[in-house]
Amino acid sequence: MSRLNLDDFSDLIERPDSGTRRDAEERRERLTVPPGALGRLDELGEWLAAAQASVPVRAIEQPRVVLFAGDHGVAELGVSARESGTAHRLVRGVLEGASPVAVLARRAGVPVRIVDAGLDCDPGLLPEEVSRHRVRRGSGRIDIEDALTPEETEQAVRLGMAIADEEADSGTDLVVLGDLSVGGTTPAATLIAALCGTDASVVTGRGGAGIDDLAWMRKCAAIRDALRRARPVLGDQLELLAAVGGADLAATTGFLLQSAVRRMPVILDGVVSAACALVGQRAAFRAPDWWIAGQVSGEPAQTKALDRMALNPVLDHGVTVGEGAGALLALPLVQAAAALAAELPERQPEPAEPEAAEETGAM
């Protein structure tokens, strides 16, 4: 197998069809509802039309939630409100229908797929269809060691690519992307700080579960130390993911890039998916045109990443739970935008004024 080079995606990924987007914009001008009256829904409908290369846009019929799961060794430092090595409990919560994303997905009728890329637990604790893809058990403590070996990094990226191909081949027409991790916001913030050229204090947030001030300081110090290890390998995305990423982040990056190759649109959730998207943008600058940001997570690193990619979040409801829940909340708006763009009637032309009868008369 030849060595993977993420820069190759730059030649493989094309932008959504600009001609179709212009057609969608022109059709919008002809609808009975005045231009601008539907606000952001117009933009979402045009984005989806361009991604589908279809005017009018087609309804979203087979959406899917995809969650990449993993544990991160840096959680040993007390940078998370959750105990290190317990991400499998988050997975169980989704599988048992007891988590926010599971409740929302059940209500929306959207299937959920969980991919164990690097959980730190006995594989027997989880269904085989979840654990069979695992690259390694947990990821390294990024403040002092690499998260992955080069071989594991490539394996994880290829795993994400394979999952994207499976979803596209099965007819999935839109993905809601999230993560199930403990400690995952720390490598995510590190990746974003490294790629945006900023300091640890600027990107350090309190995570989806919330942490106190002492834990925030520990997290900031861990990101600072990890950044020292990240900056020397900024020129190679695979080396960067190996140094300060993790199996779930590398798999998510591969998934995002291959989804763009397959022309499959994606709704991003929080800071972890934003970090992977930013790595993907470094590899292929056209790739972010296939993604939208579902929600504001409250993490400063996410804001930095979305600004860099010029992605404007659909929602800002203060949802910090992660796990894809915020992005799933945005799905009905995207579906509504598609329905409005496809089903609203166009204005009928005004009937022509009858020509005035010619005046005739006797001389």
Indicate whether 315 belongs to any domain.
yes
Say yes or no to pLDDT of 32 above 90: no
Say yes or no to pLDDT of 159 above 90: yes
Give percent of the chain above pLDDT 90: 83
Q: What's the CATH code of the domain at 312? A: 3.40.50.10210
Say yes or no to pLDDT of 41 above 90: yes
Angle formed by the axes of helices 247-261 and 185-196, to 10°? Answer: 60
- What was the pLDDT predicted at 354? 62
Is residue 295 within 8 Å of residue 48, measured between CB atoms? no
| Cα 53 to chain centroid, rounded | 21
- Write the pLDDT tens digit of every residue in 48-96: 999 999 999 999 999 999 999 999 999 999 999 899 999 999 999 999 9
Categorize the per-residue pLDDT at 157 as very low, low, confident or very high, splitting at 50, 70 and 90.
very high
Categorize the per-residue pLDDT at 362 as very low, low, confident or very high, splitting at 50, 70 and 90.
very low
- What was the pLDDT predicted at 234? 95
Indicate whether 279 belongs to any domain.
yes
d(Cα 11, Cα 32) in Å, to the nearest integer?
41
- What was the pLDDT predicted at 321? 85
| Three-class DSSP category at 295 | strand
Distances (CA, A) of 295 to 180, 236, 282: 17, 29, 22
* Domain ranges, residue 87: 63-332
- What was the pLDDT predicted at 227? 97
Tokens at 199, concatenated:
């300091």
Categorize the per-residue pLDDT at 200 as very low, low, confident or very high, splitting at 50, 70 and 90.
very high
Say yes or no to pLDDT of 351 above 90: no
Indicate whether 7 belongs to any domain.
no
Please state the rounded mean pLDDT for residues 340-360.
Answer: 71
Q: Which of 25, 323, 346, 359 is catalytic?
A: 323
Indicate whether 349 belongs to any domain.
no
Indicate whether 355 belongs to any domain.
no
Say yes or no to pLDDT of 141 above 90: yes
- What was the pLDDT predicted at 353? 64
Indicate whether 30 belongs to any domain.
no
Residues 70, 75, 78, CA angle at the centre, nearest 5°? 155
Is residue 274 within 8 Å of residue 236, measured between CB atoms? no
- What was the pLDDT predicted at 208? 62
Average pLDDT over the chain, rounded to an integer:
93
| Cα 258 to chain centroid, rounded | 13
Indicate whether 110 belongs to any domain.
yes
Q: Count how many residues are written for the chain.
A: 363
Indicate whether 362 belongs to any domain.
no
d(Cα 284, Cα 10) in Å, to the nearest integer?
4
Q: Is 359 a catalytic residue?
A: no
Please state the rounded mean pLDDT for residues 24-37.
Answer: 89
- The residue whose two tokens read 């309190």 is 206
To the question of pTM greater than 0.85 for the whole model, the response is yes
d(Cα 179, Cα 190) in Å, to the nearest integer?
17
d(Cα 124, Cα 157) in Å, to the nearest integer?
24
Tokens at 21, concatenated:
């987007």
What total of structural domains would you count in the chain?
A: 1
- Write the pLDDT tens digit of every residue in 235-283: 999 999 999 999 999 999 999 999 999 999 999 999 999 999 999 999 9
Say yes or no to pLDDT of 313 above 80: yes
